[in-house]
Structure 1
Amino acid sequence: MLAVLYVGHGSRVAEGVHQLNQFLAQCMDQVHVPIQQICYLELVRPDIQEGISRCVRLGADCVIVQPILLLSAGHDKRDIPGEIEKARAFYPNVRFIYGRPFGVDDRIVDILLERLHERRDKRTRNERVLVVGRGSSDPETLRAFSEISAMLMKRGVSRVSVCYMAAAKPLLKEGLELASKQAADKVYIIPYLLFSGVLMKTIKKSIEAGDHQASFVLCRPLGYHPALIRLLRKRIEEATHAGLSAHS
Structure 2
Amino acid sequence: MSVLIAVAHGSRDPRSAETVAAVVDGVRLRRPDLDVRVAYLDLTEPAVGTVIGEVAAEGHSSAVVVPLLLGSAFHARVDLPGILDAARVRYPWMTFTQADVLGDDSRLVDVLRARVLGTGVDRDDPDVAVAVAAVGSSDSLANRRTRTLASRLLDGTEWSGAQVCFATGVESPPADAVARLTAAGPRRVVVAPWFLAPGLLIDRVFGAFDNSALRADVLGDHPLVADVVSSRFDEAPRYQPRIDESSTVRR
**TM-score per shorter chain, which class?**
0.7 to 0.9
Over 3 Å counting, the alpha-carbon distance change for 1:31 and 1:240 in structure 2 is: farther
Residue number in structure 2 paired with 1:113: 113
Residue number in structure 2 paired with 1:25: 25
Name the CA distance, whole Å, in 1 between partners of 2:111 and 2:218: 9
Residue number in structure 2 paired with 1:231: 228
Residue number in structure 1 paired with 2:148: 147
Which string of whole-angstrom CA distances, capped at 9 and with x for unpartnered residues, describes residues 121-176 of structure 1?
45964332211101111234223323322322333345121110012511123322
Q: 2:178 aligns with which of 169, 176, 179?
A: 176
Instruction: Check the 8 A contact 2:88/2:94 in 1, yes or no.
Output: yes
Higher fraction of helix: 1
Instruction: Check the 8 A contact 1:163/1:171 in 2, yes or no.
Output: yes
Over 3 Å counting, the alpha-carbon distance change for 1:239 and 1:218 in structure 2 is: same
Which 4+ residue blocks in structure 1 deviate beyond 6 angstroms? none
After superposition, residues 3-42 of structure 1 pair within 5 angstroms as 3-33=3-33, 35-42=35-42
After superposition, residues 1-248 of structure 1 pair within 5 angstroms as 2-33=2-33, 35-122=35-122, 125-156=126-157, 157-208=159-210, 215-240=212-237
Name the CA distance, whole Å, in 2 between partners of 1:3 and 1:124: 45
Q: Which of 1 and 2 has greater Rg?
A: 1
| Letter of the 1:149 counterpart | A
Name the CA distance, whole Å, in 2 between partners of 1:126 and 1:35: 46
Instruction: Check the 8 A contact 2:26/2:223 in 1, yes or no.
Output: no
Name the CA distance, whole Å, in 2 between partners of 1:140 and 1:189: 23
Instruction: Check the 8 A contact 2:109/2:152 in 1, yes or no.
Output: yes
Identity within the alignment, %? 24
Greater RCO, CA 8 A, separation 6+: 2
Which string of whole-angstrom CA distances, capped at 9 and with x for unpartnered residues, describes residues 7-43 of structure 1?
1111212232122113212312332455432211111
| Letter of the 1:132 counterpart | A
Residue number in structure 2 paired with 1:246: none
TM-score (norm 2): 0.84
Consecutive unaligned residues in structure 2, runs of 5 or more: 241-251
SS in structure 1 of the partner of residue 182 of structure 2: helix
Q: CA deviation at 1:182?
A: 4.1
Instruction: Check the 8 A contact 1:131/1:162 in 2, yes or no.
Output: yes
| Residues 224-233 or 197-206, more deviating | 197-206
Q: How many residue pairs get matched? A: 238
